[in-house]
Amino acid sequence: MRCRKMAEIGRRQFLRGGALATAGAAAVAVSGPEARAAVAPARVAYPANRLANIADLTVNEPLDVAYPDDDAPGVLLKLGHPVEGGVGPEGDVVGFSTICPHKGYPLFYNAEDRTLNCPGHFSRFDPEAGGQQVWGQATQNLPQYVLRVDDDGEIHAEGVDELLYGRLSNVL
């Protein structure tokens, strides 16, 4: 979870013009298409990854995840009321990329007004409105996950609705 302290580090580092690095250093674990000669499909094949269980989520507390691979940080949010793209019993669980689609800085969640904010150049996105950019520099709204919840409450991501920053194919 991105706590207040991390947000402060982010603010210092980015607003004060610190160095930048690729997010996430973990090994890539992608269950992408198998390596065999075949006709390429028209769209990328998204992995179906388990991100969390409904029971892991608390209203208005962001849970850090990554999708479609560990180099693509994101967030799961339970918002407490039905929202666009929301899944789960209350239709209130959504997932978004947290790399800003402007220049790739990390977004931080503001629980007070439920927005994702970018310390890079002040963009902000509304997870209660499908990731619509409330105001900002990005030329696209925030990539949102296609989510599915199974009978055990497991939350799976199965797709993304916009190109992720920093990759020319959503699945690498």
Partner 1 sequence: MAYKRQIDRLPIIPADAKKHNVTCHYCIVGCGYHAYTWPINKQGGTAPEENAFGVDLSEQQGAETEAWYAPSMYSIVKQDGKDVHLVIKPDQGCSVNSGLGSIRGARMAENRRSDVLGTQQQRLTEPMVWRYGTWQPTSWEDALDLVARVTARVIDDGDEDDLYVSMFDHGGSAGGYENTWGTGKLYFDSMKVKNCRIHNRPAYNSEVHSTRDMGIGELNYCYEDYQLTDTIFMVGANSLETQTNLFLNHMVPGVRGDTLAKKEAELPGELHAPARVVVVDPRRTVTVNAFEEVAGKENVLHLAINSGTDLALFNALFTHIADQGWVDAEFIAASTFQDGVAQPQDEQHPAALGSFEAARAACRMSLADAAAICGVSEADIAKAAEWIAMPKEGGARRRCVFPYEKGIIWGNDNYRTIGALVNLGLATGNIGRPGGGVVRLGGHQEGYMRPSDAHVGRPAPYLDRLIIGGGGKVHHIWANDHYKTTLNASEFKRVYNRRTNMVKEAMDARAGATREELVDAIVAAIEAGGLFSVNVDIVHTQIGQQAHVILPAVESGEMNLTSMNGERRMRLVEKYMDGPGSAKPDCLIAAGLAQALERVLREEGRDAYADRFKGYDWASEEDAFMDGYHANTGQIVTYDRLRAMGNNGVQEPVIGYEDGKLIGVKRLYADGKFDRHGREDKKALFCCGAWRGLQAPGKAAQKAGFRFLVNNGRSNINWQNWFLDKDNDFVADRYPYPFLEIHPDDMADLGLAAGDLVEVYNDVGATQAMAYPVETARRGETFMLFGAPSGTQGNVINAGTNELILPNYKQTWADIRKISDAPATVKHLSFKSKEYRMG
Active site residues: 102, 121
With b for 16 or more beta-carbon neighbours within 10 A and e for fewer, the 63-101 pattern comes to bebbbbbbbbbbbbbbbeeebebbbbeeebbbbbbbbbb
The residue among 14 and 145 lying less far from ligand FES, judged by its C-beta, is 14
Q: Which residues contact 3 (CB under 8 A, 6 or more apart)?
A: none
103 touches ligand FES (CB under 6 A)? yes
- In the complex, least distance from residue 67 CB atom to partner 1, rounded to whole angstroms: 13
- Is residue 112 a contact partner of residue 101, using CB atoms and an 8 Å limit? no
Please, is 13 exposed, middle or buried when counting C-beta atoms within 10 Å of its C-beta (0-12, 13-18, 19+)?
middle
User: Per CB under 8 A, which region of 31-39, 50-58, 86-94, 159-167 contacts partner 1?
Assistant: 159-167
Give residues 117-156 in contact with ligand FES (rule: CB under 6 A): 118, 120-121, 123, 136-137
The residue among 63 and 165 lying less far from partner 1, judged by its C-beta, is 165
What secondary structure, in 3-state letters, does 65-78 show?
EECCCCCCEEEEEE
- Give me the 1-40 binding string for partner 1, x by CB under 8 A, dash otherwise: ---x--x---x---xxx--xxxxx----------------
- In the complex, least distance from residue 94 CB atom to ligand FES, rounded to whole angstroms: 20
The single-letter DSSP state of residue 162 is S
Q: Which residues contact 106 (CB under 8 A, 6 or more apart)?
A: 10, 23, 73, 98, 99, 100, 118, 119
Of 30, 90, 121, 158, the residue at the interface with partner 1 (CB under 8 A) is: 121
| Residues forming the site for partner 1 (CB under 8 A) | 4, 7, 11, 15-17, 20-24, 43-44, 46, 69, 71-72, 84, 99, 101-105, 108-115, 117-124, 126, 128-141, 143-144, 160-163, 165-172
| Residues forming the site for ligand FES (CB under 6 A) | 100, 102-105, 118, 120-121, 123, 136-137
